[in-house]
Amino acid sequence: MPGPLDGIRILDFTRYQQGPSATVMLAELGAEVLKVEPPGGDPGRMLSRCEDGYSSYFESLNRGKQSIVVDLRQPGGKAIICRLARQVDVVAENFRPGVMDRLGVGYDALAALNPRLIFASASMFGPRGPRARHPGYDTIAQAAGGMVMATRRPGDDLGTPLGGTADQVGGMMLAYGILAALLHREHTGEGQKVEVSLFGSQLSLQMVAATRALYHKSQMIPQQAGGRISGHLRCSDGHWIAFGHLNTPQWVDVLRAFALDVHFISSLPVMQGNAYKAWVDSKPVQMVWAED
């Protein structure tokens, strides 16, 4: 059965993880993705390689795509891309802002050949601002965007976010922007330029804390889940459990699942949201493990 993007053709210049994760999601939705690699191949081919040369990194991010090798620094390479740009719906790239323009295959050049073209760009900090042309990878984005601080544990100066988080979220945003642009073109016939950044992807993960800071005019650094509302505990057998609850009935279920002394359950008030959290935090409830 054809996917919802059946018939959509994407010319994919993206490398490493952010861009390829976006285009592989679109390929899974049925789009035909033609990956453009430089002589020597995408540098992602060299990462996470097995002894036989198989790269789990590259294969996971580029499955379902077709590849061609084009040297964009040669006049013939530019001519090939211009010819292909007339035939595709989307061009995706994640070079630093301005690189595609210098190679003669930027948005203005290709949109002149195909006004319905969607030109999607992903970068570290976006195309505008004092750091627009700065390079960067996943770890730098997590640090600059605040996630290294947001994921720290009590007593630690810095956190250790999961590698690839910024790339994957940034890739989702790129795919999201491309899908929105395709829908816009369906209604208007117009192509457009789509721009996302790794930095912006990390800010989006902290929207609740950012909204609170804007309302209170003071910064609140996000913390890892912990306390009575949600968190994780090590059990007596050495295994870990995670729990979360946002209202009284759910908390009762948590206490019962923990086999705790819950003689006070019948007297718990029914509430939820901020009122519930404030009430729970105000109670010095002692959790006692039941005897086997």
Write out the catalytic residue numbers: 167
**Best CA proximity match to 84, nearest among 183, 9, 169:** 9
Instruction: Quote the CA–CA distance of 255 and 36 in Å, as a whole number.
Output: 55
Instruction: Quote the CA–CA distance of 45 and 62 in Å, as a whole number.
Output: 10
The DSSP element (H or E) to which 239 belongs, if any, is: none
CB atoms closer than 10 angstroms to residue 133: 14
Instruction: Quote the CA–CA distance of 11 and 100 in Å, as a whole number.
Output: 13
C-alpha of 91 from chain center: 20
Name beta bridge partners: 212.
none
Q: In what order do the strands lie in the sheet with 32-37?
A: 66-69, 32-37, 9-12, 90-93, 118-123, 192-197
Task: Report the alpha-carbon angle 86-135-143, nearest 5.
Answer: 125
**Best CA proximity match to 226, nearest among 206, 244, 207, 252:** 244
Query: Six-digit token pair at 197?
Result: 């950044």
**Best CA proximity match to 126, nearest among 98, 150, 103:** 98
DSSP string for residues in 28-97: HTT-EEEEEE-TT--GGGGSSB-TTS-BHHHHHHHTT-EEEE--TTSHHHHHHHHHHHTT-SEEEE-SPT
